[in-house]
Structure 1
Amino acid sequence: MATFEIPRYDQVPETKEDLDWAELVTIDLSRFDEPGGKEALVQQLDHAVKNMGFFYVKNFNIAQEEIDRQFALGREFYALPLQEKLKYHSWSDLERGEYNGYRPAGHRILGNGIRDNVQVYNIPKFDGHHPRAQPPILASHITEIEAFSRKCHTEVVEKLLRLFAIFLELPDEDQLVRDHTYDTKGEDHLRYMHYAARSAHENALVGELYSPGHTDLGTVTLLFRQPVAALQILNSDGDWKWVRPQDGTITINTCDALTALTGGLIKSSIHRVHAPPQDQAGIDRLGVLYFARPNNHVVLDPLRDSALLARLGLTRNVFTDVGKHLTTEEWVKVRQTQQQRPRQEAKITHDGKYEYKPKDLEILPGLLAKVYN
């Protein structure tokens, strides 16, 4: 196969505007193997995962050059002609909850006649269960992409899972790692994500949002440093705060499957994508993310052998409350089917609130997705 030369990727400058930034904990993974290091990191995590579900990690053994290469690959993919990208897209797949491959912008009408401005390309983890054709620009670098995907898992996700196991007082700190084995069938994936800049008029029609407030459906999401300010999180006081791009860090958010496994103790972080500030308003936003999920066979009931959950009496979650004991595979399918549905457009109020009909938010009978305003 021909090898495509990939020019270097240079990130754009950060905003100089005075934004209301969130104050987030930074977990230094260089302390992980020190005596007492994991326990000290768990103490740092305690507030973050119970209140906001967002934190940074640093010193995670993935070089900046490797990260920049992934941004460069994403840039090269999105530079392809639309007709070329559409070869890796299937409407019928999306309707069935199959989300890997390409999703073009404009899949959904957000409201007031404005369609979404986001393109997504998902590359499933290399567990042998997700064979997919890749565009030549990515196929020629697939070994490098797999190495990066595996590093996300071993250098970041597995270490966080051990910290969560200690936090939850599980009998074995490797218990959650075993439920997230990379080479076992699962729905983890690497994503290149592209938001196209919109006009001020279009942004105003959709409440200045690229994506309204939501939670992610897996265990944790890794967001590599993105200097175009847009990510906002909802803090425990109910205020939206901007997430600052910190050098040498990955932004981590905890997600729905982890919330289910912990009976609601670990918060599934609520976040949205806002239109960038004025000095970045005309810049497209490219993201590199890694989504970690429990293996497909894992049942998303509260962990029965967590001494902490037992002490707190956390034995139920939103799934068991509607009589369901979903595996990860079942949860991902029903949630993705709901998410990918080209909904009737929302009613967007003058102050930017999104209001949907209940049928557009139904995941399962008795369980509706939430849109946070």
Structure 2
Amino acid sequence: MPGTTLPPVPHYVPAPPTREDLDWADLVVIDISKARTPEGRAQLAPQVRDAMHTTGFLYVINHGMTQSQTDRIFDIGDVAFSQVSEEDKRQHAAMIAEDGSKIGYKLRQLWTIDNGVRDQHEQYALHRTIFGQQEHPQALQLFLPEMRAFAEHNHYNVLFPILQMLALGMELPEDAFVKLHGFDAVGDTHARWIKYHPRTQEDELKTKNVWLKGHTDTGSVTILWSQPVSALQIMSPDGKWRWVRHLDNALMLSGGFYKGTIHRVVQPPADQRDRPRLGAYYFALADDDVKLVPFVESPVLQRVGIVRKCADEDAPTMREWRRGRVMAYGLKETTRKDDVVEEQEIVKGIILKHYN
């Protein structure tokens, strides 16, 4: 992160961690500082492989940013929402429905959650290069160098080591996945801040307290910077929804080339219910021209068997899959299965499920 004198920014004060006794998910914790050497990555790879194979979710600690640096990233993220007018947000809105891109603002009430209830969260996504790919609101101009450094830190110091260990776990060359995620390549990998706002009791009843329907993410790896308002749940291997506990200055990783974690956002526990929930993220997607076919050369896949969702020649590129997913979520009618549990839609001929 930049070491020069930094511009002042209002401090964002989140709610304290919940004191409620929730059903917490039991997640693996990885010390990523050990992944700085080939020997360390080889040592951690089986642990990362097993975590991503079973739950698709893990914690990362010792990632190279201090608590004060992380706090500042949340301070800057809140500027995108609290110091930018609604008109300015609309002027910098993402082309979600038009082009399947989340770069820019997702405004509140864009998506339908359930029973006609619209969402109450807003997002601001910045292309990872920060400069040259999009225009930013005036309120964020002073902070763009720090946002660029944040994107680079996520990409090179967190994403790349994780991709290397995932490749080792599949007995592939260490750079097999790294080569598909170029920082300067054409693609939609981005940093994003999301702010959830409390909803009315009527909306909570209509949606059974679900703020964001259960789903898997579109890309390769999602990096979530831990924050104290509990609302994120993952579906455990036994089929039960469990809460993800806040861990100070930790990262949470989901998705991956192994198991795409089914996760959702629900109403926070009672002692945090009246507070907003601000999150910082880094969404890593393969380069746009990457065709989404299995790594058939992996000895691991050869041993367990390869299950295809479609023929290789019909497989979408990352750009096609990303556009189809983004343009569908919350904007199109879905077909319910078993009345309540699953909702299905077709993206590029592939059945996509939402868990509501």
Relative to the length of structure 2, the TM-score reads: 0.91
Task: Write the distance in 2 (CA, Å) between the matches of 1:121 and 1:227.
Answer: 20
Structure 2 counterpart of 1:87, one-letter code: Q
Task: Write the distance in 1 (CA, Å) between the matches of 2:66 and 2:245.
Answer: 20
Find the counterpart in structure 2 of residue 275 from structure 1: 267
Verify the 8 A CA contact 2:209 2:267 in the aligned structure 1. Answer: yes
Aligned residues: 350
Structure 2 counterpart of 1:17, one-letter code: E
Q: Which of 141, 154, 157 is equivalent to 2:156?
A: 154
Find the counterpart in structure 1 of residue 27 from structure 2: 24
After TM superposition, give the deviation of residue 312 of structure 1 in Å: 2.2
Q: Secondary structure at the match of 2:354?
A: coil
Verify the 8 A CA contact 1:86 1:102 in the aligned structure 2. Answer: yes
Verify the 8 A CA contact 2:195 2:278 in the aligned structure 1. Answer: yes
Structure 2 counterpart of 1:215, one-letter code: T
Tell me if 1:318 matches 2:309.
yes
Structure 2 counterpart of 1:5, one-letter code: P
Q: Which of 162, 165, 176 is equivalent to 1:163?
A: 165
Task: Write the distance in 2 (CA, Å) between the matches of 1:347 and 1:198.
Answer: 25
Question: For residues 259-270 of structure 1, what are the structure 2 equivalents within 5 Å?
Answer: 266-270=258-262
Structure 1 counterpart of 2:351, one-letter code: L
Residues 279-336 of structure 1, C-alpha deviation per residue, up to 9 Å, x if partnerless? 111011111000011112222111132121122232x422437x52222122112222
Find the counterpart in structure 2 of residue 138 from structure 1: 140
Gap regions ≥5 residues in structure 1: 259-265
CA distance 1:30–1:205, shift in 2 (3 Å): same
Gap regions ≥5 residues in structure 2: 1-5
Question: For residues 39-188 of structure 1, what are the structure 2 equivalents within 5 Å?
Answer: 39-79=42-82, 80-89=84-93, 93-126=96-129, 131-170=133-172, 172-188=173-189
Task: Write the distance in 1 (CA, Å) between the matches of 2:80 and 2:240.
Answer: 36
After TM superposition, give the deviation of residue 228 of structure 1 in Å: 0.4
Q: Which of 298, 318, 328 is equivalent to 1:328?
A: 318
Find the counterpart in structure 2 of residue 263 from structure 1: none
Task: Write the distance in 1 (CA, Å) between the matches of 2:245 and 2:340.
Answer: 24
Verify the 8 A CA contact 2:92 2:105 in the aligned structure 1. Answer: yes
After TM superposition, give the deviation of residue 4 of structure 1 in Å: 6.3
Task: Write the distance in 1 (CA, Å) between the matches of 2:310 and 2:8.
Answer: 48
Find the counterpart in structure 2 of residue 261 from structure 1: none
After TM superposition, give the deviation of residue 224 of structure 1 in Å: 0.3
Find the counterpart in structure 1 of residue 41 from structure 2: 38
After TM superposition, give the deviation of residue 16 of structure 1 in Å: 0.4
Overall identity of the aligned pairs, in %: 33
CA distance 1:109–1:336, shift in 2 (3 Å): closer
CA distance 1:102–1:34, shift in 2 (3 Å): closer
Residues 29-70 of structure 1, C-alpha deviation per residue, up to 9 Å, x if partnerless? 122245742222122223311111000000111222232222
After TM superposition, give the deviation of residue 275 of structure 1 in Å: 0.5
Structure 2 counterpart of 1:320, one-letter code: A
After TM superposition, give the deviation of residue 347 of structure 1 in Å: 7.8
Structure 2 counterpart of 1:153, one-letter code: H
Task: Write the distance in 2 (CA, Å) between the matches of 1:200 and 1:50.
Answer: 38
Tell me if 1:363 matches 2:347.
yes
Task: Write the distance in 1 (CA, Å) between the matches of 2:250 and 2:48.
Answer: 16
Question: For residues 173-212 of structure 1, what are the structure 2 equivalents within 5 Å?
Answer: 173-212=174-213
Verify the 8 A CA contact 2:70 2:249 in the aligned structure 1. Answer: no
Verify the 8 A CA contact 2:113 2:213 in the aligned structure 1. Answer: no
Verify the 8 A CA contact 2:109 2:121 in the aligned structure 1. Answer: yes
RMSD: 2.3
CA distance 1:346–1:15, shift in 2 (3 Å): farther
Find the counterpart in structure 2 of residue 337 from structure 1: 327
After TM superposition, give the deviation of residue 200 of structure 1 in Å: 2.7
Question: For residues 220-239 of structure 1, what are the structure 2 equivalents within 5 Å?
Answer: 220-239=221-240
Structure 2 counterpart of 1:10, one-letter code: V
Verify the 8 A CA contact 2:231 2:266 in the aligned structure 1. Answer: yes
Structure 1 counterpart of 2:322, one-letter code: V
Say which is worse superposed, 92-101 or 266-275, in terms of deviation: 92-101
Relative to the length of structure 1, the TM-score reads: 0.87
Task: Write the distance in 2 (CA, Å) between the matches of 1:103 and 1:83.
Answer: 13
Task: Write the distance in 1 (CA, Å) between the matches of 2:286 and 2:238.
Answer: 30
Task: Write the distance in 1 (CA, Å) between the matches of 2:136 and 2:37.
Answer: 41
Find the counterpart in structure 1 of residue 3 from structure 2: none
CA distance 1:305–1:294, shift in 2 (3 Å): same
Say which is worse superposed, 30-39 or 180-189, in terms of deviation: 30-39
Residues 168-192 of structure 1, C-alpha deviation per residue, up to 9 Å, x if partnerless? 101x212211111211122101111
